[in-house]
Amino acid sequence: DTEVTQTPKHLVMGMTNKKSLKCEQHMGHRAMYWYKQKAKKPPELMFVYSYEKLSINESVPSRFSPECPNSSLLNLHLHALQPEDSALYLCASSHLLGELFFGEGSRLTVL
Amino acid sequence: QKEVEQDPGPLSVPEGAIVSLNCTYSNSAFQYFMWYRQYSRKGPELLMYTYSSGNKEDGRFTAQVDKSSKYISLFIRDSQPSDSATYLCAMSLIQGAQKLVFGQGTRLTINP
């Protein structure tokens, strides 16, 4: 079962709201990723967790706060976002070396 | 210069044609090579994954990697309208964790 599940599929929030995106995988992968994708652009890496520890932060603004509560779950907490943060947010997982499997994404609109 | 170069297209071919998609890269540290297919408003779906130079075949899809030329290709045989999508090449290197770098993506349309 190669499935990464993301919720919610769609989210609309105001600039003062706090919300969270959630990601879950049950493939035994120990690396999990957040990517951001704007229309007609490739995904851009935001964060990588390896064994539940943050390994890579691609200089993402602090209004995005990742969390990895356990090896199956990955959250992205959102606070005080800007309209330009509207995008498709993709979660992925992999073994430490190997193919990345992506979820369907959470489409975020910031008003 | 981008680390990974991919012609964004668009590319339009008739049904049944052989499609060739390509990427070049500049960083010789890339170790793993992937091709993803992405339909509109969906997440990327892994098509092919290769490590070493050479060919890998899966059904109608063949991936080629030439590390000496820093060039990778994806061939689609007997193309179908359902193959219409954006195709993304991706390459990874290990910096403590695996870091995947994508090409720009090629938008492909297969015309019935």
pLDDT at residue number B29? 86
Q: How many CB pairs under 8 A join A and B?
A: 66
A28 to chain B, minimum CA–CA distance in Å? 16
Q: What is the pLDDT of residue A1?
A: 52
Residues making up chain A, counted from first to last: 111
Of chain A, the percentage scoring pLDDT greater than 70 comes to 98
**Residues of chain A contacting residue B98, judged by C-beta atoms under 8 Å apart:** 31, 48, 94, 96-98, 100
Tally of CB atoms within 10 A around A82: 10
pLDDT mean over B50-56? 87
Res. B53 pLDDT band, cuts 50 70 90: confident
Per-residue pLDDT of A81-105, as tens digits, reads 999 999 999 999 998 777 899 999 9
Helix, strand or coil, per DSSP, at residue B103:
coil
- Which residue in the set B45, B97, B101 is minimally distant from A31, CB to CB? B97
CA dihedral B63, B65, B69, B75 (to 10 degrees): 0
Q: Inform me whether the pLDDT recorded for A49 exceeds 60.
A: yes
| 3-class secondary-structure state, position A54 | strand
Binary contact (A100, B97; C-beta < 8 A): no
Report yes or no: B29 at the A interface, CB cutoff 8 Å. Answer: no
Rg (CA), chain B: 14
